[in-house]
Amino acid sequence: MKSWLYFDIKYFKNELKSMFTMSGLREDVFAGFTVACVSIPLSLAVAMASGVSPGVGLISAIIGGIVAAVFGGTRLAVSGPTPVMAVLIADAVSLYGLGGLLVIGLICGALQLVFGLLRLGRYAKLVPLAVISAFTAGIGFIIFIGQLPKALQLPSPSENDVIYVIQHIGTYITQMNPMAFTFAIITLIILKTLPRYFPKLPAPLIAVAVPTIILLFFGVGNIQLVGSIPHSLSMPKLPDFSLITDWKALLETSLEVFLLASLETLLSSSAVDTIGRGDLHNPNQELVGQGFANMAVALFGGIPVTAVIARSSVNMAAGAKTRRSAIIHSFVILAVVYLFPQLIELTPVPALAGVLLGAALSMMSLTEVIEFWKTDKTEVVIYLVTFFAIVTTDLIEGVSAGIIVAFLIVAIRMLTTKADIKLWTNKEVLRISLSGSMTFWSFDKLQRIQEHVAIHAGLKFVIFEFSNLRGMDSTGASHLINVVRAIRSCGVHVILHELNDEQTKMLDLASPGEKPYLKTITESQIKDILEKANIGHSATDLLKHGMEKFLGQYAHERKALLSNLAQGQKPHTLLISCSDSRVNPNTFLSAGLGELFIVRNVGNVIPEYNATYYPYSEGAAIEFGVGELGIRNIVICAHTECGAIKACISNHEVDSIGLRNWLQMIKNDFKNKNRIPTDAYQGVKFNLLNQVENLKTYPLVSKLLDSGELSICAWVYDVRTANILEWSVEKNKFECIKHDDVAVN
């Protein structure tokens, strides 16, 4: 039984074991040095944006990088201060000071640890992508506007407000330090252009180093520098809790920091998986690792950290193999702090502002908005609401607004009723395929359907199809019954086709007594009703209606799939089944276009291979599927209540010569393979096993079976229950493929 508390000591041991081997050490050392070159300027810039001293950013990178690497759940991720957190941390520092921020860091870490142990890491993925993208872009916009005064080397505004900075941008330009602005632009240009031509070079380090060198060699004056930083790490100590006066407000801020840090971490870990194409992260272990890291960072006087995609992507690009690279990166930063602190102290502040401006521009990606517009325009609405709410209010209110709008859109979509209406060529039957949900929201749609029915004079039947309708509530059922009664009062009969049990119950409650409609389950029942009313059942109209639904729904939404399949097919399974209309492999196997290469005939027969004379198409399909398409999985699927088998064992004389000769092959297999069935059900199974033996007579099939490259499955589909029996060679019997084996709880 799965424990509700996460604790995977085996995972932890296996991950740490790889750190104590020589394998990959050279790559990890190189990656660690490379990431440190990116991490140092980024940590300094984030510290500046967060309202703390530069040394605090370096301490956070050192401690957070080591602890998160040891205990985290993403092998090649690198943790440290991140621009995404800077806005929220700056607000916390302004409200509670650095002492209060350390308490917030402890609380954030403790919450992450608890959430990881309680297996709650996966719930971070419940946030809509449009909200996440707008959230990142909103923070980027705030950082960009907030760093403009530093890039111009002007005092930060007394009001830490985006709108205030925008309103006074003209004043800033007239009062700016031109050389400081030049340094910021040089940094920004290098940061944006260097990766295009030299992707392996540490662009942030070079972008900051160039203005620093210019400043040192040419003696440009009046440029603000980073200044003094600690030349060593202080001993860990608990924050002074007595300085906190408003615990309620501080706890609320701690919760905001926890949510943002956890979300950024798990999103970065998912991105690491995508870039690395595998090596999936463990979200619960990652939260545990970040929890320990943030508590340790707080004890050493640092700011909250997260897994950072910028550092992590550099780590992977540099060839990192294990967690050692992140730890080495931290020790490289520590060595610089101890041995070469002057290199950091002489860094121009406008250059660090340029780093943040570059990070902010990367966070404000128009490409994502364009993609949302192409795929689903409602996502753009969610994006814009979230973005402007974040910019004009604060982060949490902005995210809340975006999630609320997203839920409203989902609710409206779920409540919306859609109808595909088709008038048959005889002008006497109107067929309406319903999809979506039938709820209180469906009133207008049903009224329009009623009006549409009224304009067609001569109608005798209206058929409502329910196979694609997801749900129905009592109000929706009541609205539908009222429309049905209105249609019926005009002398038009109504058929409700393919109602499920829940929908039937709802409609029974909405229309007690005599029903104003007829219910059908199969198409043959509709055919019988229409023919009794002297109306021809148009199978062609039915097929055309189905094709229109396919084109309007499935094909319209899967243009990329159709385009890909137009280039050629690559099915994964050759499926040989009976022609019986009750057996639809694509339906009961939930298989889409391009997945199954299907051969169907009466009785799922596979004639034995004959090298001299073979007049059957089955052999061509088998050889083409296995030989040309490279299929390595074959399924022969029989079914219960098979008419072909019943005819074979009943000794009923078949008049049609083609069918008689075909069934004779089944009878001959029963006799030649010494499997004589006593009833139809046994006959289905015996015939299936006979066809498996016939399949093995094909040289290509036999060759691939001998080499272990091909698998053959023998299934019996039960037309009454939809269960499938599979032949077990090891147990020499048929066993039910249980549905609960693949259930997701």
Has residue 514 been placed in a domain? yes
Pairing of strands 518-520, 429-438: unpaired
Q: Which residue has the tokens 């402007």?
A: 388
Cα–Cα nearest to 152, from 92, 224, 207, 75: 224
Has residue 558 been placed in a domain? no
Residue 81 shares a structural domain with residue 185? yes
Handedness of CA 345, 348, 349, 353 (dihedral sign): negative
Cα–Cα nearest to 28, from 315, 364, 458: 315
Residue 160 has a pLDDT of 55
Q: Which residue has the tokens 């109306």?
A: 535
- pLDDT band of residue 462 (cuts 50, 70, 90) is very high
End of a domain among 313, 348, 377?
377
Kindly tell me if the per-residue pLDDT of 176 is higher than 70: yes
Look up residue 513 and give its DSSP letter: S
Contact 64, 305 (CB under 8 A): yes
What is the per-residue pLDDT across 68-105, written as a single tens digit (0 to 9) for each?
999 988 888 899 998 888 888 988 998 899 899 999 99
Residue 409 shares a structural domain with residue 473? no
What is the per-residue pLDDT across 429-448, written as a single tens digit (0 to 9) for each?
999 999 889 988 889 999 99
Contact 359, 83 (CB under 8 A): yes
Look up residue 739 and give its DSSP letter: G
Kindly tell me if the per-residue pLDDT of 320 is higher than 60: yes
Residue 357 shares a structural domain with residue 314? yes
| AA letter at 19 | M
Domain with 503 in it: what CATH number? 3.30.750.24
- pLDDT band of residue 278 (cuts 50, 70, 90) is low
Query: Which structural domain range is residue 333 located in?
Result: 26-228+235-377
Handedness of CA 310, 311, 314, 315 (dihedral sign): negative
In the three-class reduction of DSSP (H, G, I as helix; E, B as strand; rest coil), residue 435 is classed as: strand
Has residue 244 been placed in a domain? yes
Whole-model pTM? 0.63
Cα–Cα nearest to 365, from 141, 567, 582, 215: 141
- pLDDT band of residue 467 (cuts 50, 70, 90) is confident
Has residue 677 been placed in a domain? yes
Q: Which residue has the tokens 């041995």?
A: 339
Residue 7 has a pLDDT of 65
DSSP result, 171-202: HHHHH--HHHHHHHHHHHHHHHHHHHH-TTS-
As a whole number, mean pLDDT of residues 443-458 equals: 90
Return d(Cα 327, Cα 79) in angstroms, integer. 10
Q: How many CB atoms lie within 10 A of CB 681?
A: 15
Residue 237 has a pLDDT of 86
- Tell me how many degrees the CA angle 402-405-406 measures, rounded to the nearest 5: 85
Kindly tell me if the per-residue pLDDT of 474 is higher than 70: yes
Residue 372 shares a structural domain with residue 456? no
What is the per-residue pLDDT across 693-720, written as a single tens digit (0 to 9) for each?
999 999 999 999 999 999 999 999 999 9
Mean per-residue pLDDT of the chain? 87
What is the per-residue pLDDT across 528-571, written as a single tens digit (0 to 9) for each?
999 999 998 888 887 887 787 777 767 777 788 888 888 899 99
As a whole number, mean pLDDT of residues 660-676 equals: 93
Kindly tell me if the per-residue pLDDT of 743 is higher than 50: no
Question: The tokens of 101 are what?
Answer: 């921020």
- pLDDT band of residue 3 (cuts 50, 70, 90) is low
Question: The tokens of 285 are what?
Answer: 């272990």
| Biggest distance spanned by C-alpha atoms of the chain | 108
Number of domains the chain contains: 4
Residue 602 shares a structural domain with residue 736? yes
Kindly tell me if the per-residue pLDDT of 159 is higher than 80: no
Has residue 308 been placed in a domain? yes
Residue 110 has a pLDDT of 95
Residue 6 has a pLDDT of 67
Look up residue 244 and give its DSSP letter: -
Helix axes 377-392, 366-375, angle to 10 degrees: 140
Has residue 86 been placed in a domain? yes
Greater confidence (223 vs 637) lies with 637
Kindly tell me if the per-residue pLDDT of 9 is higher than 50: yes
Contact 485, 513 (CB under 8 A): no
Residue 440 has a pLDDT of 87
Lowest-pLDDT choice from 282-286, 372-376, 395-399: 395-399
What is the per-residue pLDDT across 334-359, written as a single tens digit (0 to 9) for each?
999 888 888 888 888 888 888 888 88
Kindly tell me if the per-residue pLDDT of 4 is higher than 70: no
DSSP result, 253-267: HHHHHHHHHHHHHHH
Question: The tokens of 122 are what?
Answer: 């996966």
As a whole number, mean pLDDT of residues 415-426 equals: 87
Residue 262 shares a structural domain with residue 221? yes
Return d(Cα 532, Cα 509) in angstroms, integer. 29
Residue 342 shares a structural domain with residue 491? no
Residue 113 shares a structural domain with residue 249? yes
- pLDDT band of residue 149 (cuts 50, 70, 90) is confident
Has residue 557 been placed in a domain? no
Helix axes 657-672, 680-695, angle to 10 degrees: 80
Residue 517 shares a structural domain with residue 624? no
What is the per-residue pLDDT across 392-415, written as a single tens digit (0 to 9) for each?
877 778 878 888 898 888 888 778
Residue 168 shares a structural domain with residue 191? yes
Return d(Cα 695, Cα 699) in angstroms, integer. 9
Return d(Cα 227, Cα 229) in angstroms, integer. 7
465: β partners: 433, 497
Residue 337 shares a structural domain with residue 401? no
CB-based burial of residue 600 (10 Å sphere; 0-12 exposed, 13-18 middle, 19+ buried)? Answer: middle
Has residue 626 been placed in a domain? yes
Helix axes 83-117, 129-151, angle to 10 degrees: 140
Contact 26, 328 (CB under 8 A): no
Cα–Cα nearest to 585, from 625, 542, 550, 635: 635
Cα–Cα nearest to 42, from 295, 291, 354: 354
As a whole number, mean pLDDT of residues 413-425 equals: 85
Kindly tell me if the per-residue pLDDT of 141 is higher than 80: yes
What is the per-residue pLDDT across 481-501, written as a single tens digit (0 to 9) for each?
999 999 999 999 999 999 999
Domain with 710 in it: what CATH number? 3.40.1050.10
* Spatial CB neighbours of 152, under 8 Å, sequence gap ≥ 6: 172, 173, 175, 176, 177, 180, 181, 184, 350
Residue 161 has a pLDDT of 66
Lowest-pLDDT choice from 13-17, 350-354, 415-419, 466-470: 13-17
How far lies 304's CA from each of 226, 465, 490, in Å?
A: 21, 56, 71
Three-state SS string across 321-388, please? CCCHHHHHHHHHHHHHHHHCHHHHHCCEHHHHHHHHHHHHHHHCCHHHHHHHHHHCHHHHHHHHHHHH
- pLDDT band of residue 5 (cuts 50, 70, 90) is low
Greater confidence (594 vs 174) lies with 594
- pLDDT band of residue 745 (cuts 50, 70, 90) is very low
Residue 82 shares a structural domain with residue 223? yes
Number of H helices, E strands in the chain: 31, 13
